[in-house]
Homo-oligomer: A and B are copies of this chain.
């Protein structure tokens, strides 16, 4: 696989005449410190540091890693990584004293790449290597073709079975409400308590602020947010926080 990336990388560099980031001395394949590495090493370290939240606010996946990220997002590894996250949520829910069962236990889900996969969209749009085109993405969303992030359905149904109130909190805009509901139901997500999208007054807020405000409102309504699961750090960070938060892998894009 390293060889394949090497070939891709060489071709890319010949065609583009320059390479981005740390990877700018083609002939050496070395990091700043002189460490000899493969393109796979480089892209894997990029992905790991994205997931560790050390790399933030990136606009596009580095060009030289687009093939690697595409491969990861369509791999068994991505499925296993996500399934493990879901299983850890279920394990957490089995801990004593997490739930009070008084109708005020709440769980928050992101939508994109948490419940509905946008991999089919990004597959046709450069796997995060192209700058986000909101019109094109919203057009795709309005068609309601998102597939289920399959293991998430297990958690969703598990929470329903436990009687936990489910809140879907997404940066999708209000005009996508009907398409979003249709899409969710089509792939078997139904029975949530509330679907909260961004309306006009939220448009100037970043996602983290918007989502933290929603948590604040839920708490003021008496809910205890026992957990959040999302694919972006902005769904999880900021105050007030949930009792526990779970981050699904997603190196394709960054939402602040």
Contact = CB atoms under 8 A, between A and B. Distances in A.
Contact of A150 (B33, B53, B88, B89): B33
A182 interface: no
A76 B246 CA distance: 29
Q: How large is the interface on A (under 10, 10 to 19, 20 to 34, 35 or more residues)?
A: 35 or more
A70 to B, nearest CB: 18
A249 interface: yes
Given A31-B83, A49-B88, A88-B55, A41 B77 contact: yes
Interface in A28-81: 31-33, 35-37, 41-42, 44-46, 48-49, 51-55, 76-77, 79-81
A104 interface: no
> Which among A46, A49, A53 has the highest number of chain B CB atoms within 10 Å?
A49
* Number of copies of this kind of chain in the complex: 2
A250 B81 CA distance: 17
Contacts of A172: none
B76 A33 contact: no
B80 A42 contact: yes
A30 to B, nearest CB: 11
Contacts of A76: 35-37, 41
B84 A46 contact: yes
B151 A80 contact: no
A161 to B, nearest CB: 16
A44 B81 contact: yes
A48 B248 CA distance: 10
A46 B77 CA distance: 11
B41 A246 contact: no
Contact of A80 (B45, B77, B150, B154): B45
Given A35-B83, A54-B84, A55-B84, 11 more contacts: A31-B80, A37-B80, A41-B80, A46-B84, A48-B51, A49-B88, A51-B51, A52-B246, A54-B88, A54-B247, A55-B88
Top 10 nearest A-B pairs (CB, nearest first) are A45-B80, A45-B84, A54-B88, A45-B81, A52-B247, A49-B84, A41-B80, A48-B81, A54-B246, A54-B85
